[in-house]
Structure formats: C-alpha cells, structure tokens
Amino acid sequence: MKSFILASLIAGASALTVLPSYAQTDTDAVVQTEGMTNLVNVLNSATVETAPDQLKADLVAAINGVCTNCTAAQVDSMMTVVVDAIGADSPLIADFLAALVAAGVDSDTVTLAAITAGVDATVASEATAAGPGGAPTPVAPVIVTLPTTPVPQGAGGTGGDEGISEVGN
C-alpha cells in the first residue's frame, strides 16, 4: 500500500511538472526584423557623396543579414519593405536590385519581385542581369585579309551564279 501511495505521489508530481524539452524561440523573426530595419537604414542614409561601391557592399551585407540563400518569399518580403520605405520611383531601387543579385539571388526572381512590388519593368530589368551588360565587347582587330580571286564562268564549285549549270556553257 505504501508503494502504491508513493507511486501515485510521484506520478502526480510529474504530471504537474512541465519540462521545456522542445522550447522554441522566435529568434528568426527577430533577426529578420532587425535585418529589414538595417536594410532600410542603409538606403535611407545613402547620400550623393556615398560611393556606389560602398553602397553596394553595405546593401549586400544588409541583405545577407536578412537571409542567406534567400527564397522567393523572402525576396518578395524585402522588396515590399524597401518599396514602402523609399518608394518605387526612388533612384536607389536600382542599387538595391543590383545588390540583391550581387548577394546571390537569382536575377529573374529579383526582376519578378520588383515588378510585382510596383517598380518600373525597365528599371528592374536594367538593374539585374536581364538588362544591359555594360560596355559593349570591342571588335577584334583584323589580322589577315585573304585575297579573293575571280572564278571564270563554268568553273563550278562556288555554289553561286557561276556553277556548272550556267547557261551558255
């Protein structure tokens, strides 16, 4: 009887004790919110004197603070926050889009998210790899020019007007 009472006391005490064996925190949401705030701060603090390379590096660092290997949903979320903060017509949008591509996000995903968020399609396309690629490739110089000799009529072999089926042969 004593063992039965002791077992029931132990069972009752363990039923009231809740152990946090699988406690989950919301740190991902906190980190993402802080990263979004940092991203908007980088864009808002950019001035005319800010070097483009420095702005791009700061934006890439802020983007990596929000996500590494960003999914399309994360890119959409970032795009919405940035467009709401600085506007779809801001000249910094192109810098932000280029920084997303530089951070390793697929250019098609960036272009689609930008257009969906209200950014002009031309701006979105030109800021990503889909747009102009910068300076055109220079034409290679001519090294050798071979002489072309005329082929007499009826000689054949040129595949053009002077073949074997030439009239008058």
Block residue for tokens 């779809």: 88
Kindly tell me if the per-residue pLDDT of 151 is higher than 80. no
What pLDDT is attached to residue 130?
Answer: 53
Lowest mean pLDDT among 75-79, 87-91, 106-110, 161-165: 161-165
Helix, strand, coil percentages in the chain from 3-state DSSP, rounded to 5: 55, 0, 45
Query: What is the DSSP secondary-structure string of 100-137?
Result: HHHTT--HHHHHHHHHHTT--HHHHHHHSTTS--SSPP
Instruction: Identify the H or E element spanning 16.
Output: helix 2-16
Residue 16, both tokens: 């009231």
Residues 107, 1: Cα–Cα separation, whole Å: 74
Q: Which residues of 124-157 are buried (b: 16+ CB within 10 A; e: fewer)?
A: bbebbeebeeeeeeeeeeeeeeeeeeeeeeeeee
Q: How confident is the model at residue 103 (pLDDT cuts 50, 70, 90)?
A: confident
What is the C-alpha separation between 60 and 1, in angstroms, rounded? 70
User: 45-67, pLDDT tens digit by residue?
Assistant: 887 788 888 888 888 888 888 88
Q: How confident is the model at residue 25 (pLDDT cuts 50, 70, 90)?
A: very low
Highest mean pLDDT among 21-30, 92-101, 143-152: 92-101
